[in-house]
Structure 1
Amino acid sequence: MKISLIIPSFYPAVIYGGPIFSTLHTCQELAKLEDVEVYVSTTNANITTRLDVQTNKWTKFEENFFVKYYDETKVNKFSWQLFCNIWKDIKQAEIISIQTVFDTPAPISLLYAKCFRKPIVLSPRGALCHWCVNQGSRFKQFWLKYLIKPFVKNIYFHATCEAEKQDILTIFPDAKIVIIPNGVDVDSYHKNNILNKQEYIKKYVKADIESNNIIVSMSRLHAKKGFDILIQAFAEVLQTYPESILLIAGPDEGEKQNLENLINALELNNRIYLIGPMNGQDKVDFLANADLFVLPSHNENFGNVYIESLAAGTPIVASTGTPWQEVESADCGKWVDNTIEDTASAMLEMLEKDREQMRLNARILAQKYDWKNIALQFKDVFEKIVETK
């Protein structure tokens, strides 16, 4: 089975965060399965720059796994090279997996896939939630009505959770939907370096401070992520645990200055640190050696970083705008409204629990999301869709 996966940006454009890694791992594990070949069509976009990669030619990543980067004519906007050539990639595949909604490769690929009568699986990646659609609503309503809706009969939508399924049905009531969660490379998050608190602080903060509780968060610095809520909730936690610190990792997407202003206004410069992007082993160690992970996001269709934290053995506090209610029953986290009060209360409750038991529970829950299991689910769904074509 030849799979054509189309995505606006791809590895090593890690600055785009979780979706880059989740797509990479999905492709890697799918390519290991019997009778599967994966062909990724993407661009060399890398936020404000371009990746230093060969363009318009298939590059072998691994066995049965190939990537073609098209040159981005206007970075993050449009690739003329992709527009003119993507039809060739679609024509040679048996099923098309499109990993975007509000980017130009989506309608272009939908049109060509329909012309060649190829089955389509479209992954919105949270872009159809109420909060996201209402950001720039007029443009997005136009896009959905005229560039996506005409193809809905040809599409199987991929949702990562029940909540995302309902978001899709709200916009496209007759949509065909399959639910497959994102995954995590469980083994890589078990290979962490053990750091005591002083070693940890020295590595990530480079400051000479004491701390009995290390609370972390990680995502792109965007208003959607609720970091302003986290900072104010943490200020309340300090009333009970004054020697705690909060480290926030992630690239800036327009929110950093606002967060710095809030931290200054609360006079917490010596307790809250914005430490920039985090990848590779540094990211594993950052998550694994923390006491608690907190991200009160307004909305996440899945939220890769939550499962990454659990795989690293660190309990979480997630908002009800995410699909992570099962951490409550698994006893490795809290799932609460993303208000300042509820977030602070959840953090305090988690800091009072048995941390070693929380770490064990977190890793047990993460195991079911291992990429090997997720890839098998994708293959099964793809095969059934191809058979019913």
Structure 2
Amino acid sequence: MKILHITPYYEPDFHRGGVVRSTSILCRELVGLGHEVTVYTTRDALSPSKDPPGASCDLGGVRVVFFENRLGGFGFGLDMIRAARNIREFDVVHIAAFWQIFGLPAFLSARRASVPCVVSPRGSLVMVRKRTVGAAKYRLFYWILNRYVLKRASAVHFTAELERSDARALGLAVPSFCIPNAVPVEEFRFLPDRVAARKRLGITDERPLILFVGRLDRRKALDVLLKAFARVGGRGRNSVLVLAGPDFGEKGMLEDLSRALNIGGRVIFLGLVNAEERAEVLAAADLVTLTSLAENFGNSGAEAMAAGIPVLVSDQCGVAEGIEEAEVGRVVPVDEDTMVSVLDEMLADGGALRDMGMRGPEFAKSSYGADKIARKTTCAYGDLIAGTRSPDCRWADG
């Protein structure tokens, strides 16, 4: 199968968030299954390419074509319009973007050429449902353009039922399939030495270490996490909170808040971590948190389970599906009091916490294993071409 993926950012621009990483993993796995995969993307200003627009390279067997970055991925140039004219050479097109209109020429060309086109909102629909002043621009853009795209896509891909419920709340009765993000579970099978990893963070005893991995932005509700962390008692009274991720406008506020709460000495800001550094902080951690206000999936939670680390996630994260049933972590609302209570409970019993972690790898492999997810995605693409509906893809028509 010849597959075209379109995303405003692709590897190595991993600082752009989980969409970049999950798309890269999926594309590489699809190549491993024998498919011919091409990615149309742009290069981030923080890692500019010396190659001219339109140049291509091979990344893990995936042919990656870099186009002009117009308006931070929110626009497209003549090079993208020209490339879209050749859309018939692909069997299926998958657009992993929503607010950015970078893929619009390819979407329109695919419709004209009757090439199946999948769109992945990746958590964007929650912004449409918000009734805040800041969300007004997203609602406007949705009604002007994005609703048109979603309603005319061959199918919409959701990573969790939570995300599909957002679409239903907006009255989007569109064909959709639900497949979670792919996680390379084998990458997390063997972590670095725990003692050495903790020493590098300045921790020489066995006090609990709570870890967050992700962008420091408002949607992550890290202010609520800090307030809850400050109130944790018992065994967690001297625990350490590590925030590992790039700053998206929240770091200054979080640093000020941690000092105001008198926990500045127990909160560590690591900044963006690469794959090797991520493995190290996971090795040092006792618990991984992802208590976001909205998260279509939550790669860091899935990766933590693959690494054998128990998780605390909010009920607004797609990755929350099945966690409590599998006893690999806890699911909470984004509520300070509830988070304090559950953190106290989880940290009080180190043995139970470790047992949760030990169940994680098998759950992650069966739920998010990259090979399994790539096969399901291939099946969904095949369904679109053949007009079938495979049960494993969790299809729905509204």
- TM-score, length-normalised on structure 2? 0.90
**Contact 1:183/1:307 (<8 A) preserved:** no
- Structure 2 residue aligned with 1:5: 5
Q: Within the alignment, does 1:78 sit opposite 2:75 as a pair?
A: yes
* C-alpha deviation, 1:208, in angstroms: 6.6
**Contact 1:226/1:297 (<8 A) preserved:** yes
- Structure 2 residue aligned with 1:335: 331
Q: For the residues of structure 2 that align with 1:54 and 1:238, how far apart are their CA atoms?
A: 56
Aligned-partner SS, 2:240: strand
* C-alpha deviation, 1:276, in angstroms: 0.4
Q: For the residues of structure 2 that align with 1:339 and 1:233, how far apart are their CA atoms?
A: 9
- Structure 2 residue aligned with 1:109: 106
Comparing 237-246 and 96-105, the one that deviates more: 237-246
Q: For the residues of structure 2 that align with 1:269 and 1:89, how far apart are their CA atoms?
A: 55
Q: 2:299 aligns with which of 297, 300, 304?
A: 304
**Contact 2:290/2:298 (<8 A) preserved:** no
Q: Within the alignment, does 1:261 sit opposite 2:261 as a pair?
A: no
1:232–1:366 Cα change, 3 Å: same
**Contact 1:50/1:72 (<8 A) preserved:** no
**Contact 1:5/1:39 (<8 A) preserved:** yes
**Contact 2:311/2:330 (<8 A) preserved:** yes
Aligned-partner SS, 1:41: strand
* C-alpha deviation, 1:286, in angstroms: 1.0
Aligned-partner SS, 1:50: coil
Q: Within the alignment, does 1:45 sit opposite 2:44 as a pair?
A: yes
1:297–1:52 Cα change, 3 Å: farther
Q: 2:118 aligns with which of 117, 121, 124?
A: 121
- Structure 2 residue aligned with 1:19: 19
1:111–1:194 Cα change, 3 Å: same
Amino acid aligned to 1:332: V
Aligned-partner SS, 2:228: helix
Report matched runs for 1:1-389 at 5 Å: 1-34=1-34, 36-46=35-45, 50-52=48-50, 55-63=53-61, 65-130=62-127, 134=131, 136-151=134-149, 152-196=151-195, 199-204=196-201, 207=202, 210=205, 212-238=207-233, 240-323=235-318, 324-353=320-349, 354=351, 355-368=353-366, 369-388=368-387
Flag structure 1 segments of 5+ consecutive residues without an equivalent: none
1:131–1:297 Cα change, 3 Å: farther
Aligned-partner SS, 2:300: helix
**Contact 2:183/2:369 (<8 A) preserved:** yes
**Contact 2:127/2:135 (<8 A) preserved:** no
* C-alpha deviation, 1:382, in angstroms: 0.1
Comparing 15-24 and 232-241, the one that deviates more: 232-241
Post-superposition CA distance 1:347-368 (Å, at most 9, x none): 1221133243222111121111
* C-alpha deviation, 1:79, in angstroms: 3.8
* C-alpha deviation, 1:131, in angstroms: 6.9
**RMSD of aligned Cα (Å):** 2.1
1:363–1:132 Cα change, 3 Å: farther
* C-alpha deviation, 1:110, in angstroms: 2.1
**Contact 1:211/1:243 (<8 A) preserved:** no
Aligned-partner SS, 1:45: coil
Aligned-partner SS, 2:22: helix
Percent identity over the alignment is 27
* C-alpha deviation, 1:140, in angstroms: 2.1
**Contact 1:325/1:335 (<8 A) preserved:** no
* C-alpha deviation, 1:99, in angstroms: 0.4
Amino acid aligned to 1:331: E
1:41–1:132 Cα change, 3 Å: farther
Comparing 54-63 and 217-226, the one that deviates more: 54-63
**Contact 1:293/1:315 (<8 A) preserved:** yes
* C-alpha deviation, 1:209, in angstroms: 6.6
Q: For the residues of structure 1 that align with 2:147 and 2:76, how far apart are their CA atoms?
A: 23
* C-alpha deviation, 1:240, in angstroms: 5.0
Q: How many residues align?
A: 382
Post-superposition CA distance 1:137-166 (Å, at most 9, x none): 332223222323334134300001111111
Aligned-partner SS, 1:302: coil
Comparing 81-90 and 161-170, the one that deviates more: 81-90
Post-superposition CA distance 1:306-348 (Å, at most 9, x none): 0001111100000111131422121121101111111111112
Post-superposition CA distance 1:93-139 (Å, at most 9, x none): 11110001100214333222222222111000111125775564332
Q: For the residues of structure 2 that align with 1:58 and 1:100, how far apart are their CA atoms?
A: 20
**Contact 1:128/1:167 (<8 A) preserved:** yes
Amino acid aligned to 1:127: S
**Contact 1:43/1:82 (<8 A) preserved:** no
